[in-house]
């Protein structure tokens, strides 16, 4: 009987890992993340071994994404430097206006003192006026003297501040010039990466000699995605349940991740008996891809046919997939909030124009995204 209980206990632990996992959700999450990272690595190695041309396209498109990221970073720094120069210029103009006002006030006081005469204190002493009034007048004159000294000190301080602002502005302009040079260099790197991508894509397309070859490649790419989804589903069985409203209750309420126009619909034929498992949204290159709901990134890598692909797990067995990106802003394990930009639209995966491929999965089953999202993409 004791042996039977041990066997049943071991079997239960294997069959229901989530029960043990619930004792330490953070440890379970780290374990799942390591599994997914190993899965990504294995998939990348498999693609490289199986298809040299696809691997070359992947490398070229990843370089495009990296070059685009560096260029965007330089452009942000250029905008920040431009803004800082404008702020310094505006502050310098305010200080110059304050300096002009201080100088005018000091000039008026000096003129008044000159009109009174250089010996105003002596005149007061010899005026034979009441001593109390004389005392008050001397106090007033001391106030005027201190006021003039204060204005002179303020003028000197303002002049120093203007000189410091001018030096800061000159330094920012030098930094801007260096950034402009860096921006030109990164733009050239981006163009070179795109040229490499075009060559890799041309080499890949040259191997497709017939419709049969094209369908064969589509089936291979579809099989790779299905295997990835199944592997992720198994790995996520041990992941702790996310907080918040269950994804299943959001049908028809989600915002579209990008504005655009649907050019391929769920269920439409693709050839060779294949159908679209998602929708294809034509939009602008570089458009931000926003997570429609909170979740956690479970895949962020290149995949044949879909290019730079991001997958978000929303819990309850639901995942959303975003393909053909130019840049991925999140990595495996990163939590994402609803509305957060997680990628930018591109043409990776061999597309001829910028498009976002969008899927909704319940387990391994694909569902029509249009039933989950409000209206049309806009």
In a domain, 116, yes or no: yes
The predicted pLDDT at position 211 comes to 67
Which residue has 């239960």 as its token pair? 12
User: Shortest CA distance to 68 belongs to which of 340, 359, 354?
Assistant: 354
Residue 189: pLDDT above 80? yes
Confidence label for 15 from pLDDT (cuts 50, 70 and 90): very low
In a domain, 262, yes or no: yes
In a domain, 361, yes or no: yes
In a domain, 12, yes or no: no
- Identify the domain boundary among 181, 207, 233: 207
Q: Are residues 343 and 199 in the same domain?
A: no
The predicted pLDDT at position 16 comes to 38
Q: Are residues 82 and 146 in the same domain?
A: yes
Range of the domain at 365: 219-378
Q: Are residues 271 and 136 in the same domain?
A: no
3-state secondary structure of 367: strand
- The structure tokens listed for 36 are 């997914």
The mean pLDDT value for 12-27 works out to 49
Q: Are residues 105 and 63 in the same domain?
A: yes
The predicted pLDDT at position 328 comes to 95
The predicted pLDDT at position 4 comes to 37
Q: Are residues 245 and 153 in the same domain?
A: no
User: Shortest CA distance to 71 belongs to which of 175, 186, 179, 182?
Assistant: 186
In a domain, 356, yes or no: yes
Ranges 76-90, 91-105, 180-194: which has the least confidence:
91-105
In a domain, 272, yes or no: yes
Confidence label for 22 from pLDDT (cuts 50, 70 and 90): low
Nearest-angstrom CA–CA distance, 61 and 44:
14
Nearest-angstrom CA–CA distance, 241 and 334:
15
The mean pLDDT value for 156-185 works out to 86
Nearest-angstrom CA–CA distance, 62 and 327:
8
The predicted pLDDT at position 17 comes to 41
- In order, the DSSP letters of 74-86 are HHHHHHHHHHHHH
The predicted pLDDT at position 19 comes to 38
Give me the CATH number covering residue 81: 1.10.287
Give me the CATH number covering residue 346: 2.70.70.10
The mean pLDDT value for 295-307 works out to 92
Q: Are residues 164 and 43 in the same domain?
A: yes
The mean pLDDT value for 90-111 works out to 80
Bridge-partner residues for 336, per DSSP?
Answer: 295
- The structure tokens listed for 145 are 């003297």
Q: Are residues 199 and 227 in the same domain?
A: no
Ranges 1-5, 40-44, 167-171, 308-312: which has the least confidence:
1-5
Q: How would you classify the pairing of strands 288-290 and 335-336?
A: unpaired
Nearest-angstrom CA–CA distance, 162 and 156:
10
- Identify the domain boundary among 170, 187, 207: 207
- In order, the DSSP letters of 11-69 are HHHHH-HHHHHTT-HHHHHHHHHHHHHHHHHHHHHHHHHH-HHHHHHHHHHHHHHHHHH
Q: Are residues 276 and 196 in the same domain?
A: no
> By percentage, how much of the chain surpasses pLDDT 70?
80
Q: Are residues 170 and 223 in the same domain?
A: no
Q: Are residues 27 and 101 in the same domain?
A: yes
The predicted pLDDT at position 122 comes to 53
In a domain, 308, yes or no: yes
Number of structural domains the chain divides into: 2
The predicted pLDDT at position 13 comes to 42
- Identify the domain boundary among 156, 181, 207: 207
Q: Are residues 263 and 189 in the same domain?
A: no
The pLDDT tens digits for 226-276 are: 999 998 888 888 777 777 789 999 999 999 999 999 999 999 998 778 899
Mean pLDDT of the chain: 81
In a domain, 61, yes or no: yes
Q: Are residues 196 and 48 in the same domain?
A: yes
Confidence label for 321 from pLDDT (cuts 50, 70 and 90): very high
């Amino acid at each position: 009987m004791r042996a039977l209980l041990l066997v049943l206990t071991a079997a239960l632990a294997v069959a229901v890992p989530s029960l043990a996992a619930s004792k330490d959700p953070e440890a379970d999450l780290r374990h799942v993340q390591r599994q997914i990272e190993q899965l990504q690595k294995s998939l990348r190695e498999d693609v490289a071994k199986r298809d040299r041309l696809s691997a070359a396209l992947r490398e070229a498109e990843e370089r495009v994404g990296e070059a685009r990221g560096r260029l965007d970073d330089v452009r942000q720094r250029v905008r920040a430097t431009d803004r800082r120069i404008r702020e310094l210029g505006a502050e310098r103009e305010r200080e110059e206006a304050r300096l002009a006002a201080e100088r005018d006030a000091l000039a008026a006081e000096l003129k008044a003192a000159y009109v009174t005469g250089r010996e105003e204190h002596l005149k007061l002493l010899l005026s034979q006026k009441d001593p109390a009034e004389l005392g008050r007048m001397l106090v007033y004159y001391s106030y005027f003297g201190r006021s003039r000294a204060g204005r002179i000190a303020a003028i000197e301080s303002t002049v120093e501040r203007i000189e410091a602002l001018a030096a800061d502005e000159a330094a920012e302009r030098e930094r801007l010039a260096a950034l402009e040079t860096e921006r030109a260099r990164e733009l050239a790197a981006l163009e070179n990466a795109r040229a490499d991508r075009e060559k890799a894509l041309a080499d890949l397309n040259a191997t497709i000699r017939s419709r049969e070859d094209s369908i064969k490649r589509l089936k291979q790419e579809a099989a790779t995605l299905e295997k990835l989804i199944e592997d992720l589903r198994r790995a996520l069985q041990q992941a702790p349940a996310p907080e918040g409203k269950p994804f299943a209750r959001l049908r028809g309420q989600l915002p579209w991740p990008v504005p655009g126009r649907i050019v391929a619909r769920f269920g439409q034929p693709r050839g060779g008996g294949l159908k679209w498992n998602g929708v294809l949204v034509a939009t602008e290159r570089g458009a931000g891809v926003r997570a429609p709901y909170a979740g956690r990134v479970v895949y962020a890598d290149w995949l044949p046919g879909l290019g730079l692909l991001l997958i978000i797990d929303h819990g309850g067995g639901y995942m959303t997939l975003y393909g053909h990106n130019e840049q991925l802003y999140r990595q495996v394990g990163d939590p994402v909030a609803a509305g957060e930009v997680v990628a930018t639209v591109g043409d990776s995966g061999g597309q001829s124009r910028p498009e976002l491929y969008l899927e909704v999965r319940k387990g391994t089953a694909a569902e029509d995204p249009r039933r989950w999202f409000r209206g049309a993409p806009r």
